[in-house]
């Protein structure tokens, strides 16, 4: 019997044809992807990179300008009130002169005492620490306060040059901020009008409203922070002086500075005061601790809502994130700027959303009005 012919094997389809067959069963034709980058697109990319480089190179000037704008928002309401009686230049002169007078008086009266108590605190710190450790041992607690303080002071001695540079740069920054603040108070309305003139006419009023709302929020925060910090410092000085705690003015100044820092500020102001109070005995330290904790509750529940009003209505999560991001980017200065910047972001976001809605409505109405060709 003759052998039957073996059928030829069917051709194996290629991978693209097997995985992605078209309707005719054949392989899909290969496609070539072309990327067409036009000169305007290249120009936009280079322009964006140039702007980012400029911001990175001038970030310190930008920070000084932001701080100056915060002070402008703080003092502008006082200038406007005085403008009801005198013209704007005289009103600005009066506000600046009064501010400088208060600062000069505080420096002349408080600075010598603060320097003297600060130096005394540094010189007598080992004695105070030994007394505090002895009191703690008497209460059954074993603590060693000398080791961390010695490490901190050793770090200061090795970084003396860096600290000197920081002091000089801080002084230059303060002087720059002062000059910028005065200039913006004088030329602010004229400069704002010139900047708004660069925008389309229909966007000028919304932008003016946005800037005004941000100014109200930041100004209320700054004025409220000044009041609460001074009240916290006055409370600390009166309490520590009454209990004969060493160096009450230096500890009160620390409380003023710590009150500005959110979340961890109360801890920074409380711990040194309690440790210094241990030199007078455990009961004195417990009184200081209880009084500080009580004042912080009073400040958070009664003083802050009445002083700040509706300014900076931020959730604790937003405050924490802003605090961490600001501290990571710019250290203590970033911590101080974090909350005003965080309060301005929702206002700017709302304005951008409203602007996009206006653009979409304009394009829709424009397209509806056209006749089909």
pLDDT digits (tens, 9 = 90+) for 203-224: 888 888 888 888 888 888 888 8
pLDDT of 38 strictly over 80:
no
Can you spell out the DSSP letters for 3-33?
PPPPPPPPPPPPHHHHHS--TTSSPPPP---
Predicted confidence at residue 372, as pLDDT, reads: 47
Can you spell out the DSSP letters for 301-357?
IIIHHHHHTTS----HHHHHHHHHHHHHHHHHHHHHHHHHHHHHHHHHHHHHHHHHH
Structure tokens at 69: 């704008």
Q: Where are the domains of the chain?
A: 58-313, 314-346
Report the pLDDT averaged over residues 236-242: 92
Can you spell out the DSSP letters for 30-66?
P--------HHHHHHHHHHHHHHHHHHHTHHHHHHHH
pLDDT digits (tens, 9 = 90+) for 91-126: 888 888 888 888 887 777 777 777 777 777 666 666
Q: Residue 147 burial by CB count (10 A; 0-12/13-18/19+): exposed, middle or buried?
A: exposed
More confident residue, 262 or 4: 262
Structure tokens at 117: 């108590």
pLDDT digits (tens, 9 = 90+) for 280-294: 777 888 899 999 999
Least confident among 13-27, 140-154, 168-182, 267-281: 13-27
pLDDT over 70 for what percent of the chain?
A: 71
Give this prediction's pTM.
0.68
Alpha-carbon distance values, 47 to 55, 198, 333, 352 (Å): 12, 19, 30, 22
Least confident among 34-43, 131-140, 251-260, 338-347: 131-140
- CB contact burial 14-31 (16+ within 10 A = b; e otherwise): eeeeeeeeeeeeebeeee
Q: Element (H or E) spanning 1, and its range? A: none
Report the pLDDT averaged over residues 281-310: 82
More confident residue, 353 or 119: 353
Alpha-carbon distance values, 15 to 20, 21, 27, 28 (Å): 8, 10, 9, 10
Query: Average pLDDT, whole number, for the chain?
Result: 76
Q: Are 221 and 257 in contact (CB under 8 A)?
A: no
Q: Are 160 and 154 in contact (CB under 8 A)?
A: no
> Of 114, 132, 50, 155, which Cα lies nearest the Cα of 251?
114
């Amino acid at each position: 019997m003759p052998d039957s012919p073996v059928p030829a094997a069917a051709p194996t389809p290629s991978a693209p044809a097997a995985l992605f067959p078209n309707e005719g069963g054949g392989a899909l034709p290969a496609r070539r992807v072309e990327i067409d980058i036009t000169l305007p697109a290249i120009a936009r990319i280079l322009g964006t990179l140039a702007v980012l480089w400029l911001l990175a190179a001038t970030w310190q000037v930008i920070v000084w300008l932001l701080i100056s704008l915060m002070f402008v928002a703080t003092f502008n309401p006082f200038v406007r009130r005085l403008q009801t009686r005198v013209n704007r230049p005289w009103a600005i002169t009066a506000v600046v002169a009064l501010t400088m007078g208060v600062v000069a008086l505080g420096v002349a009266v408080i600075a010598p005492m603060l320097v003297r108590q600060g130096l005394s605190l540094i010189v007598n710190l080992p004695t105070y620490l030994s007394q505090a450790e002895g009191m703690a041992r008497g209460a059954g607690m074993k603590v060693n306060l000398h080791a961390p303080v010695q490490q901190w002071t050793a770090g200061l001695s090795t970084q003396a040059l860096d600290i000197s540079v920081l002091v000089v740069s801080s002084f230059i920054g303060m002087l720059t901020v002062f000059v910028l603040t005065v200039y913006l108070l004088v030329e602010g309305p004229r400069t704002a009008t010139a900047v708004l003139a660069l925008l389309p006419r229909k966007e000028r009023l919304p932008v003016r409203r946005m800037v005004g709302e941000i100014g109200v929020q930041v100004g209320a925060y700054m004025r409220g922070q000044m009041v609460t910090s001074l009240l916290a410092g006055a409370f600390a000085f009166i309490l520590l002086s009454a209990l004969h705690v060493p160096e009450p003015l230096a500890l009160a100044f620390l409380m003023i500075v710590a009150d500005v820092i959110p979340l961890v500020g109360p801890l920074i102001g409380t711990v040194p005061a309690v440790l210094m109070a241990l030199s007078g005995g455990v009961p004195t330290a417990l009184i200081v601790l209880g009084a500080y904790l009580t004042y912080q509750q009073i400040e958070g529940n009664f003083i802050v809502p009445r002083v700040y009003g509706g300014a900076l209505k931020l959730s604790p999560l937003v405050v924490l994130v802003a605090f961490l991001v600001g501290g990571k980017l710019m250290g203590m200065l970033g911590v101080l700027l974090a909350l005003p910047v965080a309060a301005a972001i929702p206002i700017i976001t709302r304005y951008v959303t409203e602007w996009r809605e206006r653009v979409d409505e304009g394009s829709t109405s424009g397209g509806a009005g056209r006749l089909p060709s």
